[in-house]
Amino acid sequence: MSYRITKYPRSRLSKREVDRTIRKAFSVWEKATGLKFEEKNSGKVHIEIRFERRAHGDDDPFDGPGGTLAHAFFPVYGGDVHFDDDEDWTVDTPRGTSLLMTASHELGHSLGLSHSDVRSALMAPFYRGFEENISLDPDDIAGIQALYGDGESSRPNANEVGVRAGQLPPTTARTTTTTRPRPSFDNTELCRGNLDTMVTAKNDTTYAFYGNRYWKLTDTSVEDGYPRVISRDWDGLPGNLDAAFTWTNGKTYFFKGNKYYRFSEIGKMDNGYPKDLSKGFEGIPDNVDAAMVWAVNNKIYFFKGSEYWKFDPDKKPPVDKSYPRPVSNWEGIPNRLDAALQYKNGKTYFFKDGQYYRFDDKNFKLDQEANPGFPRETGFWWFGCDPNSVRLTKVADNFSLNDVIWSDFS
């Protein structure tokens, strides 16, 4: 099979570095199949590779830095690969976005492979980051050899490649690099959209709570070994929580009914708690839906039903008489929230019914600049759930690396 790089990136990468890296990405698939890929400098080729910006003629424009990395077409649609030229492409370093990792994954699609359900597979729908030497998982090998054999039999010619790959039933002509890993434990409840509250503690670790269990999150999904039982790890903390937030002094507060619980250290409740909500949070109703500290003014906000309250510990009374106010003031945010969160990146997130909303704090409205837009599926983007286990939308097809890992989650 032949390929050609018809448009090189404008980045600091040299033509030689790009040529070498793309060649290395093709070799990942050669080893398992006996296929041979030849680079050509002119004429027609089986796979054309281009670095493009924004709209580039295929009805799927790139979105600039921090968005979709690349997309590839299945063989029956040409097999071409396009990379977003606005990304910080790098080689031989963990900094930036690995061209080798992205290219190796996308070329798998060019050869006819869909995404894999195996987390360790190169064709799993998430970006793994920098790896100096990429090797295929047995699942990748089984998939590619099902199309092209193991190299012991005669190799298919170019026409056979298109036909055999065309036997796959892709749902779209194009597929994009995705980044979310699969959960390693039973995260069924989270994947179904069930959530009581979420909180980011002073050590920048984020926890999700539902029923009598909780989950510790990584930057890309759920940490191995979770869920765990709340009562075993959080001294005196009940299940079925209402809300939680971490104050500017590093102390984390949990709320349930007319009580609140304070933790200065993860898992260890402070002496004298729980306390009555009316004693520590005068003016705030019982059974709130969500709570958060807003990064703009470091005030505490409580949400219940269609109303919200601002709590200012430095004022007497701490809740102004103009509250409660309608949640609709937070443009684009729904009523009866499940949770609200100031994440470790300082951004504000709201959660409801398995979806999440990222708030534009500067313009005081739902973030409308992201692509794809909000709301998004919480299970897929935060918890690493299998797309088939959540209410699948176009989010799964347009998942983007930087928007999630280095913008939302860093």
Residues forming the active site:
106
Q: Is the dihedral of CA 111, 114, 118, 122 positive or negative?
A: positive
216 φ/ψ angles, rounded to the nearest 5 degrees: -95, 130
**CA nearest neighbour of 282 among 261, 309, 264:** 309
CA-wise closest residue to 28 among 117, 131, 114, 166 = 131
- Cα Rg for the chain, rounded, in angstroms? 25
Q: Say which residues have a Cβ less than 8 Å from residue 112's Cβ, sequence separation at least 6.
A: 74, 75, 147, 161, 164, 165, 166, 168
Would you say 111 and 93 are in contact if contact means Cβ atoms under 8 Å apart? Answer: no
* 312, two tokens: 């200012």
Q: How far apart are CA 265 and CA 271, in angstroms?
A: 12
Distance (Å, rounded) from C-alpha 325 to C-alpha 65? 37
Bridge partners of 47, per DSSP, are 3
Given a contact cutoff of 8 angstroms between Cβ atoms, the answer to whether 197 and 241 are in contact is: yes
Within 13 Å and on the Cβ side, how many CA atoms surround 65?
Answer: 6
